Amino acid sequence: MGHTITEKILLAHAPGVKDISPGDFIRAKVDLCMGNDITSPIAIKEFRALGKKKVFNQNRVILVPDHFLPAKDAKSANQAQLLKDFAGEYGITNYFELGEMGVEHALVPERGIILPGDLMIGADSHTCTHGALGAFATGVGSTDLAYAMAFGECWFKVPETIKLVFKGKPKKWVGGKDLILHAISDLGVSGALYKTLEITGPAIEGLPMDDRFTICNMAIEAGAKNGIIEADKTTEKYIKAALRKYKQPRKSYNLYKSDPDARYSDIREYNVSKMEPVVAAPHLPSKGRPVSEYKGVKVDQVVIGSCTNGRISDLKTAAAVLKRRKVHPNVRLVVIPATQSIYKEAMDEGYMEAFIKAGATFCTPSCGPCLGGHMGILAEGEVAVATTNRNFVGRMGHPKSYIYLANPAVAAASAVKGQISHPSEL
């Protein structure tokens, strides 16, 4: 029986294991482990309690204080300080201070730290983003991170795989966000629980890396353990450019493909050719419907950013919609580039100017309001359109606020109209 990409990567990292099947419990070596300013403090405390003098590999631990930084209050500053002190003490090379820092799931691939075929764990649920590079990447908790920092391994249950095949060619204004919101609405928020989402098909082959990251980023919203896309020419071009730019010590990587006779617990096909932009209504990411069905919903705030849609092509799309237009007087538009390098590119390319001239606020990289941290918390009764990944109760602020998830073009158009709108309405 053949294997999926995910099974092959897990097997390659499990010493002494000859073959694996879904359902097996294994211990596997991790290439990378990562934490942020919320999850790392617990991991650091647990690691220190072990009394180990070294981390398993000082180049393979990644610490990114992205959630509440720039520190929103003294307690958050204390948490971030724990990361900084730990990184200094243990010689962690991949620690990113404010000014270099970006949202972890945009920053790590951008710098070529994660490579195809890698096994990565991250104490952040959206670690599944990195699967877009043909790597196995999954979210874990702080204790898993502590254990991995100490021993360089983690326990896993080998997941079953659901194959999602996207066919056709997406229309204008339709991108990775719409494809994944559509799939989550079909699967449900627990439809892929404990499983892998292997994302494939001609529509995916035609997508740039940014859209692929968006798709894998939201695999967790269907309950999945990981999302994964086979690495191809687009992936290799992206990786090679990152390795050159950031002079990473690792240069070689492994490309895995699923065998033709690999086992899938389910295969679903979607035709994207007729798909409209998708908007997910409160309070679940699975409540996605074509944007036209939510047309006219009044909006108080629009957020463009996050590990889902804060990359350069997202900002380019939104800036194009906003150019020579004004944000509606009743709307606050918060734009947050995901990394410092995206920030600079947005400045060089004139996107930043388009946002500011339109009346948006252009912020420093951070997870910010996505998880209700800071930089745009919602008041009671307020409605937001966000390019982020979750619209749970209270996620962006007050428990009685409402979040609609959308792609960057719909978000920008809604900011201009003051209500949920299709960009072609402008």
Q: Interacting stretch for other proteins, rule CB under 8 A, among 1-9, 116-124, 273-281, 412-420?
A: 116-124
In whole angstroms, give the CA distance from residue 211 to residue 412. 17
Contact flag: residue 81 with other proteins (CB under 8 A): no
Count Cβ neighbours within 10 Å for each residue of 213-237 and write b for 16 or more, e otherwise: bbbbbbbbbbbbbbbbbbbeebbee
In whole angstroms, give the CA distance from residue 302 to residue 330. 11
Give the contacts of 403 (CB within 8 A, at least 6 positions apart).
Answer: 282, 283, 378, 383, 384, 385, 386, 388, 390, 391, 395, 396
Residue closest to 217 by CA, chosen among 249, 177, 189:
177
* Closest separation in Å from C-beta 279 to other proteins: 19
Closer residue to other proteins (CB): 75 or 240: 75
CA distances from 310 to 107, 108, 279, 318 (A): 11, 14, 17, 10
Contact flag: residue 223 with other proteins (CB under 8 A): yes
Chain position carrying tokens 């895995």: 256
Closer residue to other proteins (CB): 1 or 49: 49
Contact flag: residue 312 with other proteins (CB under 8 A): no
Which of 1, 18, 19, 25 binds other proteins (CB under 8 A)? It is 25
Which of 50, 347, 379, 426 binds other proteins (CB under 8 A)? It is 50
Which of 1, 16, 73, 261 binds other proteins (CB under 8 A)? It is 73
Q: Interacting stretch for other proteins, rule CB under 8 A, among 1-9, 38-46, 349-357, 409-417?
A: 38-46
- Contacts with other proteins, 178-217, as mask; x by CB under 8 A: -----------xx--xx-----------------------
* Closest separation in Å from C-beta 191 to other proteins: 10
- Cα dihedral sign, 88-93-98-101: negative
Q: Interacting stretch for other proteins, rule CB under 8 A, among 66-74, 110-118, 264-272, 404-412?
A: 66-74
Region of residue 105 (phi > 0: left; psi between -120 and 50: alpha; otherwise: beta): alpha
Are residues 386 and 302 in contact, defined by beta-carbon separation less than 8 angstroms? Answer: yes
Closer residue to other proteins (CB): 228 or 243: 228
Nearest-10 crossing angle of helices 312-322, 351-358: 40
* Closest separation in Å from C-beta 340 to other proteins: 23
Give the contacts of 48 (CB within 8 A, at least 6 positions apart).
Answer: none
Q: Interacting stretch for other proteins, rule CB under 8 A, among 64-72, 160-168, 301-309, 335-343?
A: 64-72
In whole angstroms, give the CA distance from residue 386 to residue 191. 23
Which of 33, 60, 70, 79 binds other proteins (CB under 8 A)? It is 79
* Closest separation in Å from C-beta 74 to other proteins: 9
Which tokens hold the place of 57?
């590999």
Task: Find the binding residues for other proteins in span 241-300 (CB under 8 A).
Answer: 284
- Contacts with other proteins, 130-169, as mask; x by CB under 8 A: ---------xxxxxx-xx--xx---x--------------
In whole angstroms, give the CA distance from residue 96 to residue 84. 9
Closer residue to other proteins (CB): 11 or 42: 42
- Contacts with other proteins, 374-393, as mask; x by CB under 8 A: ----------------x-xx
In whole angstroms, give the CA distance from residue 242 to residue 111. 5
Q: 283 preceded by cis ω (within 30°)?
A: yes
Closer residue to other proteins (CB): 128 or 346: 128
DSSP symbol at 371: G
* Closest separation in Å from C-beta 351 to other proteins: 28
The stretches of 34-73 forming alpha helices (DSSP H) are: 40-50
Residues that bind other proteins (CB under 8 A): 25, 38-39, 41-42, 45-46, 49-50, 67-68, 72-73, 75-76, 79, 122-125, 127, 139-144, 146-147, 150-151, 155, 189-190, 193-194, 223, 225, 284, 371-373, 390, 392-395, 399
